[in-house]
């Protein structure tokens, strides 16, 4: 583990200092102190965003299922890579448009209509806790 310092300045003036732990698999914001004159600008929030910027290339939003409406928000964050189910290669999201997604989307829509109409759905689809 390594301890790092993040100093934030505005026009050369020291505004805030953050202490971070740099670990093999993560960056952890430990402590922040700031000039009280800048408190209204929420220095904790903008230093957190700066820490995120440092590690953004390593950030992983987790599992993504295109046909799950509750997961589609993940596609709004770019750049992002997606494993193409046809070629098995990582491609930028937006470039990957497998032919079968339209079929999966229509099956999902049919399942949602069935579930809404009957209160039931396909047993296999009902096991998805994210949807």
- Residue 31 is encoded by which pair of tokens? 């402590």
Q: In 12-46, which positions are buried (b, 16+ CB within 10 angstroms) versus exposed (e)?
A: eeebbbbebeeeeeeeebeebebeeeeeeeebeee
Whether residue 107 lies inside any domain: the answer is yes
pTM: 0.48
User: Are residue 54 and residue 84 in the same domain, yes or no?
Assistant: no
User: Are residue 93 and residue 121 in the same domain, yes or no?
Assistant: yes
User: Are residue 121 and residue 80 in the same domain, yes or no?
Assistant: yes
User: Are residue 75 and residue 103 in the same domain, yes or no?
Assistant: yes
Query: 35-86 pLDDT, tens per residue?
Result: 999 988 888 888 888 888 888 877 777 777 777 778 777 777 777 777 776 7
Where in the sequence is the domain holding 87, given as residue range(s)? 69-125
User: Are residue 83 and residue 113 in the same domain, yes or no?
Assistant: yes
Q: Are 16 and 10 in contact (CB under 8 A)?
A: no
Residue 63: predicted pLDDT: 74
Whether residue 102 lies inside any domain: the answer is yes
């Amino acid at each position: 583990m390594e301890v790092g310092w993040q100093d934030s300045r505005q026009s050369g003036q020291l505004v805030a200092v953050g202490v971070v732990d740099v670990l093999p698999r993560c960056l952890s914001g430990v402590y922040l102190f700031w000039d009280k004159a800048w408190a209204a600008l929420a220095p904790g929030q903008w230093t957190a965003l700066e820490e995120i910027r440092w590690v953004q290339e390593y950030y992983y939003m987790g599992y993504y299922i295109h046909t799950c409406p509750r997961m589609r928000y993940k596609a709004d964050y770019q750049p992002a890579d997606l494993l193409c189910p046809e070629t098995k290669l990582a491609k930028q999201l937006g470039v990957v448009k497998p032919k079968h997604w339209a079929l999966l989307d229509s099956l999902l829509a049919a399942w949602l209509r069935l579930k809404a109409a009957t209160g039931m759905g396909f047993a296999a689809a009902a096991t998805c806790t994210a949807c």
